[in-house]
Each structure stands twice: as C-alpha cells, then as structure tokens.
Amino acid sequence: MSQATVGRPRVPRELHTRRLVLKGPDPKLAEPLRAGVRDSFEALHRWMEWAREVPTLEEQRAHLELTRAQNETGESVSYYFFLKDDDTFVGAGGFPRIDWDELCFEIGYWCHTAHEGCGYVSEAVHALTGLAFEHLGARRVEIRMSEANQKSWRVAERCGFSFERSFDDEITDPDGTPRRTRVYVRSSP
C-alpha cells in the first residue's frame, strides 16, 4: 500500500439496500456487465465518455481487474447493481473522482435501459451517498452530468442533491456536441 493510501478507510466489497446488492468489481461479473453495456449502448454512448464501443469479454474482465485495484487503493470506487431477488444486473456506479485532501467525492451512475424508471439508480445513489458521508468521511458529494441529460438531473434531485451551477466544460459529449456540465451537491450533515 502506498503512503498516499495509508489511513484511508477501505470500501466494503458489497453494499445492500432494500432491493439491491451493490457488488464491488470482480472479473466474474464481466458477462452480465458486458451484456448490460451492449443492451444499453445507444443510451450510454449518448452520455458516457467511456462508452465509445461495446467491450469484448476480455476487455470487460481487464476493466474489472483495474477497477478492483482502484477500489483497493481508493483511487476511485466502482459498484455493480444487482437485484437481490434474482441477481439480475441493473446498473453501475460509484465514485469516479475522489479528492481525499478535500474529502470531496463525485458520484457517477448508469442504468441498464431495461430497468429504467424503477428507482434502482436512486436507491443505489442513496447507498453511495451514505457510504461517502458515514464511512469515508466526505465533506462534500457531487453529481455531475451533461446539462442535456435530464434523467440524470432527476436522480440527483430525488436523492436530495441541490443544483449548484452549470458551466461550459472542456469536453464534448460523445456525439461531438460541446458539453455544458450541470453540478449537484450535498454537504456533510
């Protein structure tokens, strides 16, 4: 463990909500995750910078190995959402950006399109927010999205985040449109 990670709390391998199990990265999850990306690719490609193409199974396994290592060091944190009842994959999320000096965590998420509108992402975001404040010592939690992604705004608002600001970002949405980023925040209770 590097000096930079000494003293950081370890993230749990799983989180449980009323209907979901949020599982930490494991190459055994590659098949359902890849299928979820494939099935939801059109929607993901519209908003997610990483969704340039559907990964191969080998690429998905390698990604899960990388994210598992990042979970261990706290560089970033990823979880994959499965229904408790039947282990169906419904989405993914976590903290793609963490500032340990400022104790600021950014939550990112996506939902398998077959499971949109069921409240699963909101349920997972509540769990991630609790993890950030109660276990990881966050002072601030942010959710950032393209201003054009109104579904993502609604998740942030349902989860008690307040709109802070919009700004012109230095990136473009995957379709090449210049991105205006919308920021929602919650501060430590």
Are the C-beta atoms of 144 and 182 separated by less than 8 Å?
A: yes
Instruction: Specify the pLDDT at position 185.
Output: 98
Q: Residue 162, class by beta-carbon neighbours within 10 Å (0-12 exposed, 13-18 middle, 19+ buried)? A: exposed
What is d(CA 68, CA 70) in angstroms, rounded to the nearest whole number? Answer: 5
Q: From the first residue on, what is the mean pLDDT of each consecutive set of 10 residues in the chain (189 residues)? A: 61 96 96 85 69 79 94 94 96 95 94 92 97 96 90 94 90 76 91
What is d(CA 166, CA 184) in angstroms, rounded to the nearest whole number? Answer: 9
Structure token pair of residue 164: 């802070």
**CA count, 13 A, side-chain hemisphere, 142:** 17
What is d(CA 43, CA 149) in angstroms, rounded to the nearest whole number? Answer: 11
Strand partners, 183: 144, 165
What is d(CA 188, CA 134) in angstroms, rounded to the nearest whole number? Answer: 9
